[in-house]
Structure 1
């Protein structure tokens, strides 16, 4: 074992075993150690469950709705949305943590603590060597946890390791590779992690160009009809270019509507299809955020590439609704990503048989129900109806 990472991880693993041997087995210390270990586990588990709740729009949304029913907290929800979200998250996290803690305590009282008492009774009839070995044996779970934590720290540290310092050679570390392949990679590559909601970036860039009224180069297909000398670009394209459709989009939209009788069913079928089949494009969002030149925006690029950002989602929804003769709007404003309000685009669709406009946000599809949802106004601030068809 000549690799420095192997040596480090081996020491981290062995030290608890040595301490366990010399401290001998004691049921009281074992109970304290077990309970401390379990509390750390349920702390992490409560956090994962809370993230799952955020992802699926469960529990936390209900808590936020309940809290906002109080006038004092309703003002907080609108004035300080980050604080309100964190408050709701903390309440749910605390409740889950104490429920899990109660379940584990009951299991310990009925099974684990009596078992540890039995182990202590057995060790008392044996010599110090046996007591030490039992102490080392019960230290193994903590030793494994310490190695996993150290490996995670190393994994994260490699991304931010100063370039002027010698790097840790993890590729030659057998122990690190075992942890990486057995724990780190399965967690990072798990379906749960991959389905966690991505933080909405400030991915809507609007640019207004005022033309010279004497200009002869006015494109009537890409101008604001109310002001023929004012062109608005959304992520590099005009609205008319963004909502442009093609035969494939039209055919799909019509096939989705065939078995639906009401406007609500048709509109929701389109919402579900986009939410399930279009992936949020983080690279494109970062390009927009950093002022990069984006020209492949709108319904057709989103449909053909099966990915896009909020404006692309909204344009595709417009194109598909128009194919089914549903009146639809593209709304621009602000969306709350859990941390801050950022530029965002979504839709409203008119249900003629119900005589009502409803809000729809297919970009937020994986974060919960955003089709005519009561919670819509909590994380959306409409600023303008950019287009209506």
Structure 2
């Protein structure tokens, strides 16, 4: 075992070096403290761990009980007022609607709040019981004899091992979520990490981390992506008078949902030009120029999400049920890139049909055959 560790250090594996440095630092602390203070530190370390475990044991079921009730309450107060919202109101309603609609996000926020409060209350209770002192206080600093320092060094090894296991646990979660990442392979090349993970974490976690955590992480990622959708819902809920009047003029004479949807598709597709400069800024400098449907309407410039949001706003103003769809579109070079388009509900046909106003100038992309061969739908809002 030790030879493998030494070889890993010689090879310059940063994970092995980090874990050994943690243990070495704890040993030095143990030497300086001596046996009594090191033992107190170990008791404090373990006591704090027990306190946090107690907080988890209480806060998890409490949050599970509270979360659905909070979701109902948040849903009741998330109705948007029929007026233009100020910036802080947009932030507020986006947060409220996101917490109301996404149970994992709501659970995470409530759990962090409840866990912090419960741990604080437990610490306060311990402080009151023990007369204002800490149950886990390590005591006064005194000069230590050689035997005491040697014993303290041994205790420091135990503390360092516990600290290293915390680092290994964090790395274990990362590796489980990103098994094919280059950094994961680098981590697994450390014999200390591999031995710690196999000996302690894998038996404790079973299949939970390896199999269930990636699924959970994907669910969290989906909900975080959905926050942007709620943001657009809040920002775009009020339809400016000029856009509504233009939409009414465009659909004048149309008698069916299909005719209305088609006329609006033709208008957006022919009046809005693709903003290549916006794309260039993002690709070269990672500068994203956020804009509202009103901005797109005024400048007559936008990218796919701007086309889709403007079309959705104009369609809603004329009582059409419409969605903004995000996903991937065929790039004409054998691959797919991020894209956005729309779906509109035709009541006379009782079905949703896709349309892509961004591509309107390159052909007829209003519910064409085989639309799904060039568009991969990922999210709808």
Normalised to the residue count of structure 1, the TM-score between the two structures is 0.41
Q: Which has the higher helix share?
A: 2
